[in-house]
Structure 1
Amino acid sequence: MRKVVLYIATSLDGYIASPDGLVEWLPTAGHDYGYTEFLASADSTLLGRATYEQVLDSGPWPYASLTNYVFSRRPPAVTPHASVQFVSDEPVEFVRALRQQPGRTIWLIGGSTLASPLLTAGLVDELMLLVLPRVLGSGIPLWRHQAQPQTLQMLRTQTWPDGTVLLHYKLPKKD
């Protein structure tokens, strides 16, 4: 069975974007933060529509070599990239079936609206949180409501000279 990994950057106060959805506070040069290594392990991505549009607005489509599933209740008439498939199915059932197909890691890019039901359903196997030494004060939160608390198992941590910390966790299996 394929694993789903939420690999995402967050501010120290738990926001993944500013209130207007921008991520200009993310570093653009310097360290790779393990991104290249992680990306090489994945063959597909899961994105919500807002995250997809934010990635589109930031330059050329960076995930053309992956199969990209964008969840949207209103898919566009034309898909601008051959590697992108719009999905209007319910995310939990879609991801449950996708995990059963052959392949490598499924990267849950975000956002939190998509991640929340997948976390609740026990379909996220690992969290890789890059915590940046920034306090935004407000914005789009990393975490949405969860039905019940979960205890995570620490797999590893890593720090960089700029103060960024990777927290890599394994989530408990649900029956």
Structure 2
Amino acid sequence: MPAHTGPHRKVVADAVVSMDGYTGTGPDDDMSWAMEHITSEQSEIMYEGIWRGVSTAVVGRVNWEGFTSVWPGLVSDPASSARTRDLGNWLAVVDKVVVSTTLRQSDLDESPWTNARVCRDLEAEVRSLRAGPGRDILVLNSASVIKALLRADLVDELCMTVLPRTLGHGVRLLPDGLSSAWRLSHATTVPATGAVALRYHRP
């Protein structure tokens, strides 16, 4: 793996995982297994501490399609918390990189969300983003994207929230065969849901 050299924008990968290491049960997973945690007040507070320091978000196709179908409704729902609406409004306008081999730019332009572009070459895009101006770059719960960036040694911080349940099968967050060293920078529990949030950084 290439060594880290010089200052750059940090790439922060964030994901919710089961105790047995899965981020979901497969391509059609609706994340219902994790919603109790995702929508908890404590989770919102923790996540706000991450996205407030970010000026570029990176997502895969599945999450892009899922997010754009769900978040506009959450923002307009009067029952949503202020933090949920703030996050939804941020997602709608923040600089977004959508990693996909099938989506076209015109598909993204049809979304109510703005400031999004299709990315075909993930490594090249992230290397360019890291070298440019801006705040942190956040990879939003997209396992395939996180795996590729871990293999390329392009993740500076890895945030994993471990939920107290097993899925038994599905999509794993960490790639097979990867050897890497990390340091724990923060750990906290979410008593309401029994989750444990872990934040690691590269030495």
Could you give the per-residue CA deviations for residues 64-101 of structure 1, whole angstroms, max 9, x where no partner exists? 2311100111223332122211112x111110011111
Alignment partners' CA distance in 2, 1:37 and 1:117? 25
What corresponds to 1:170 in structure 2?
Answer: 201
The equivalent position to 2:124 in structure 1, one of 93, 106, 121, is 93
Asked if 1:139 corresponds to 2:175, the answer is no
Alignment partners' CA distance in 2, 1:56 and 1:46? 14
What corresponds to 1:84 in structure 2?
Answer: 116
Contact 2:98 2:116 survives alignment (8 Å): yes
Report how far residue 33 of structure 1 moved: 5.2
Number of equivalent positions: 170
After TM superposition, the score normalised by the length of structure 1 is: 0.89
Alignment partners' CA distance in 2, 1:110 and 1:83? 19
The equivalent position to 2:179 in structure 1, one of 149, 158, 164, is 149
1:54-93 equivalences in 2 (<5 Å): 54-60=66-72, 62=88, 63-76=91-104, 77-78=106-107, 79=109, 80=111, 81-88=113-120, 90-93=121-124
The equivalent position to 1:105 in structure 2, one of 111, 116, 136, is 136
After TM superposition, the score normalised by the length of structure 2 is: 0.77
What corresponds to 2:81 in structure 1?
Answer: none
Could you give the per-residue CA deviations for residues 16-64 of structure 1, whole angstroms, max 9, x where no partner exists? 1223222011222342251111110111111111121121232318202
- Quote the sequence identity (%): 29
Report how far residue 171 of structure 1 moved: 2.2
Q: More helix by proportion, 1 or 2? A: 2
SS at match of 1:59: helix
Runs of 4+ in 1 over 4 A off after TM superposition: none
The equivalent position to 1:114 in structure 2, one of 130, 135, 145, is 145
Change (3 A) 1:121 1:51: same
Alignment partners' CA distance in 1, 2:30 and 2:175? 19
What corresponds to 2:19 in structure 1?
Answer: 12
Contact 1:4 1:125 survives alignment (8 Å): yes
Asked if 1:40 corresponds to 2:40, the answer is no
The equivalent position to 2:32 in structure 1, one of 3, 24, 27, is 24
Backbone CA RMSD of aligned residues: 1.7
Could you give the per-residue CA deviations for residues 147-169 of structure 1, whole angstroms, max 9, x where no partner exists? x4112111121112131111111
Change (3 A) 1:33 1:16: farther
What corresponds to 1:129 in structure 2?
Answer: 160
SS at match of 1:38: helix
Unaligned stretches of 5+ in structure 1?
none
Unaligned stretches of 5+ in structure 2?
1-7, 76-87
